[in-house]
Amino acid sequence: MPRALITGITGQDGLYLSELLLSKGYEVYGLIRGQNNPKAELVAREVPDVRVLTGDLTDLSSLLRALRVAQPDEVYNLGAVSFVAYSWEQAALTTEVTATGVLNVLEAIRLHAGDDLSRVRFYQASSSEMFGKVQEVPQRESTLLWPRSPYGVAKVYGHYMTINYRESYGLHASSGILFNHESPRRGPEFVTRKVSLAVAAIKLGRQDKLVMGNLDARRDWGFAGDYVDAMWRMLQQPEGGDFVVSTGETHSIRELLETAFDVAGIADWEKYVEQDPRFFRPAEVDLLIGDATRAREVLGWKPSVDFPGLVRMMVESDLKRLTDAVR
């Protein structure tokens, strides 16, 4: 039975990846941070077969201990301070977790595996946010990186460190440059989920306004369930590599709003939406749109859910969640 260790198990991707690996017969270990982490309950409820270990990306010896217990064939580093807007407020913490944390996991693997580094394969969750002020449209693996937020800068560090462990030590290490990927499990601070939750609440008469930031921003949004499959495929290759994972389509926040309100049967969406500078970013990334040709050709990967399908899934899920909550 193959064994996997996932950091960031309590997040959206950690949960989807756990489900995928469990369905493939893996023994899955998940790293959880801190004492009495309230999200431990979420993991126990959603993926009860995952074995939870305590550890922290900023604590090398806790990572070594987790590796000793899990004895993983595959390590997926999904843990990070992951909200871009927040990374401006806590830039140093973001660096410690999202950047140095990657080095800690790589070092822990190297120390743990000793002479036989081929025992462990490594996946690093890199991000389209690394492209920032984009130098090429669409973006691919070779596009020059130009991050525009502390989060983006930290992810660039992790990306290059992953490549360096591959080149310097021969570690089977892959960097997945994932564009935005969403789902009903997305945190409510991200724009898609903020919108799906608000539209459901407005539909049910429990909220009357939705306060937003920049409506002209555009993103290449895919479904998280599809994207974790790409992660797994990367680690099944004969060698590690870098892969852009994206849909190749972009949509604006305005289109997101229009589509989400439409799913709920509300036509005049502008009536409900206001803008507030509070939700604007100090700097925006430019036109993020990914070219996933390499993932398609080498990994045989392609997305199964399109933009309208994704928005529908999220709004319907929140409508059901809010309706069930009052029953």
- Residue ranges that bind ligand GDP, judged by CB under 6 A: 84-85, 129, 180, 189-191, 194, 212-214, 217, 219, 253, 279, 281, 284
Annotated catalytic, 151? yes
Identify the active-site residue in 18, 62, 87, 127.
127
Question: Closest CB to ligand GDP among 213 and 248?
Answer: 213
Alpha-carbon gap, residue 309 to 286, rounded angstroms: 25
151, 157, 165, 227: the catalytic one is: 151
Quick check: helix, strand or coil at residue 219? Answer: strand
Of 73 and 249, nearer to ligand GDP (C-beta) is: 249
Contact between 202 and 272 under an 8 Å Cβ cutoff? The reply is: yes
Query: Nearest distance from residue 4's CB to ligand GDP, in Å?
Result: 25
By C-beta, is 121 or 219 nearer to ligand GDP?
Answer: 219
129 is catalytic: yes
**Shortest CB 132 distance to ligand GDP, Å:** 11
Residue 156 C-beta: closest distance to ligand GDP, Å: 15
Residue with smaller CB distance to ligand GDP, 10 or 180: 180
In the complex with ligand GDP, which residue's Cβ is closer, 70 or 256? 256
What is the DSSP track for 132-200? -S-SSSSB-TTSPP---SHHHHHHHHHHHHHHHHHHHH--EEEEEEEPPEE-TTS-TTSHHHHHHHHHH
Catalytic residue among 74, 76, 128, 129: 129
183 catalytically annotated:
no
CB of 284 to ligand GDP, least distance (A): 5
CA distance 5 to 253: 35
Task: Find residue 77's DSSP bridge partners.
Answer: 7, 124
Closest distance to ligand GDP from the beta carbon of 194 (Å): 5
**In terms of DSSP H, where are the helices of the chain?**
12-23, 40-46, 60-70, 84-89, 91-94, 101-113, 150-169, 191-203, 224-235, 253-263, 293-294, 307-326
Q: What whole-number distance in Å separates Cα of residue 131 and Cα of residue 107? A: 26
Instruction: Name beta bridge partners: 212.
Output: 275
> What's the rounded Cα separation, in Å, for the pair 102 and 90?
18
Catalytic residues: 127, 129, 151
